[in-house]
Copies of this chain bind each other. A is one copy, B any other.
């Protein structure tokens, strides 16, 4: 296990019907609120009205940044930062999923940044400036953005989708009410769960050895997602299933499973290019890539880790490590498929045309060539993309 810090100060309010606490959460920071949200699903489920009712009774002055995209764009960040500066906003309130929260984080920082928002994003994890305080109300179990300091912003002009973030962007308070995810449709529920699984898998498959705590916590969270996603797909209003998925999303990416295990993630850099070029659903891209990446990365040196993944996450009974490993990969693939996720790239409208270009970018925008579990150069990325063109069988 490597040295690490763990200092995650977000005040989590988990559970049913806690919006009456919203005024107290906001009033610590001021009365001028910028509410940030996406395409209007929060209006459909009545959450927007409930929030506004609280803000009105609390005497807040409310401004709006609406229409945040599923892969939030830098133009929207610029628009939000402009409102913050002009209206002297005290606190941001993001109501939505990871994209909305990511956008709000970078708006909060860009409002205090002397320069263009994209230049801030380009600082990646190096931004040292301040940010306005952010409170979030989560409506989708997926990215974990509600309790971490990272954000992903897209620039469609330059075909870039980049991770950025800083301690100042960590949400101050996050309201996690599983009921707010009851209306999430099957496709997005499955994609969100795939995103959670991917975060856990990315941290699990790193080269650092001896991090049993991080890995056994990951295994536990994976088992919970594997159990609860199908329940939520079958009965979208099953409270405990939604609660377990929501809390899994938060814990998968708040440092618990990754801190102490340095090294690059493998699938996210490859997926970010798919989303940047084709604007597909992030979790779907990850579900498609992950089993093929696993097959590419499975070899005599890495087999132990894959076998443990099979035994501890999937209860595979096969004792021979290489055979167990392949069964584990197959189980992951079958599981995603059973959740209704399209498991080839053509099904989401992607062919081989841009594989070369995307592979170049994936390597250029990350350190997968040197720091991934199994180093991935451009040829490797292209090989993995190519394996996603057709159905797979790993056993």
Show the binding face of A for B, using Cβ within 8 Å: 1-16, 18, 209-213, 215-221, 223-224, 227-228, 239-240, 243-244, 247-248, 251, 256, 259-260
- Quick one: which of B14, B211, B213, B244 contacts A3, CB cutoff 8 A? B14
State in angstroms the CA–CA spacing of A243 and B221 once bound together.
21
In the assembled complex, which residues on chain B have CB atoms less than 8 Å from the CB atom of A211? 240, 244
A6, A14, A209, A223: which has the most chain B beta carbons within 10 Å? Answer: A6
In contact, B212 and A227 (Cβ under 8 angstroms): yes
Q: List 26 A-B contacts (CB under 8 A).
A: A1-B15, A1-B244, A1-B247, A3-B15, A3-B18, A5-B11, A5-B12, A6-B12, A7-B9, A7-B11, A7-B12, A8-B8, A9-B9, A211-B240, A211-B244, A212-B223, A212-B227, A213-B244, A213-B248, A213-B251, A216-B219, A217-B251, A218-B220, A219-B220, A243-B260, A251-B256
In contact, A221 and B217 (Cβ under 8 angstroms): yes
Distance between A102 CB and nearest chain B CB, rounded to angstroms: 21
In the assembled complex, which residues on chain B have CB atoms less than 8 Å from the CB atom of A243? 1, 210, 260
State in angstroms the CA–CA spacing of A220 and B224 once bound together.
12
In the assembled complex, which residues on chain B have CB atoms less than 8 Å from the CB atom of A223? 212, 216
Q: A212-B244, A221-B216 are in contact. Are A13 and B9 (CB under 8 A)?
A: no
State in angstroms the CA–CA spacing of A16 and B233 once bound together.
45
In the assembled complex, which residues on chain B have CB atoms less than 8 Å from the CB atom of A16? 3
- Closest chain B residue to A251 by CB distance? B213
Distance between A224 CB and nearest chain B CB, rounded to angstroms: 4
In the assembled complex, which residues on chain B have CB atoms less than 8 Å from the CB atom of A4? 14-15
State in angstroms the CA–CA spacing of A218 and B216 once bound together.
9
In the assembled complex, which residues on chain B have CB atoms less than 8 Å from the CB atom of A212? 223-224, 227-228, 240, 244
- Quick one: which of B2, B12, B219, B256 contacts A15, CB cutoff 8 A? B2
In the assembled complex, which residues on chain B have CB atoms less than 8 Å from the CB atom of A5? 11-14
In the assembled complex, which residues on chain B have CB atoms less than 8 Å from the CB atom of A3? 14-16, 18
In contact, B14 and A247 (Cβ under 8 angstroms): no
- Closest chain B residue to A245 by CB distance? B213
- Closest chain B residue to A219 by CB distance? B220
State in angstroms the CA–CA spacing of A8 and B255 once bound together.
13
- Closest chain B residue to A173 by CB distance? B7
State in angstroms the CA–CA spacing of A239 and B18 once bound together.
43
By Cβ-Cβ distance, the 3 closest A-B pairs, closest first, are A3-B15, A210-B240, A216-B220
- Closest chain B residue to A254 by CB distance? B6
State in angstroms the CA–CA spacing of A355 and B227 once bound together.
44
State in angstroms the CA–CA spacing of A12 and B5 once bound together.
5
In the assembled complex, which residues on chain B have CB atoms less than 8 Å from the CB atom of A8? 8
Given contacts A216-B223, A247-B260, 12 further A-B contacts (CB under 8 A): A2-B15, A3-B14, A3-B18, A210-B239, A211-B244, A212-B223, A212-B240, A213-B221, A213-B244, A216-B220, A216-B221, A220-B220
- Quick one: which of B209, B220, B239 contacts A217, CB cutoff 8 A? B220
State in angstroms the CA–CA spacing of A14 and B5 once bound together.
6
In the assembled complex, which residues on chain B have CB atoms less than 8 Å from the CB atom of A251? 213, 217, 256
In the assembled complex, which residues on chain B have CB atoms less than 8 Å from the CB atom of A1? 15, 239-240, 243-244, 247
In the assembled complex, which residues on chain B have CB atoms less than 8 Å from the CB atom of A13? 5
In the assembled complex, which residues on chain B have CB atoms less than 8 Å from the CB atom of A9? 7, 9
In contact, B213 and A224 (Cβ under 8 angstroms): yes
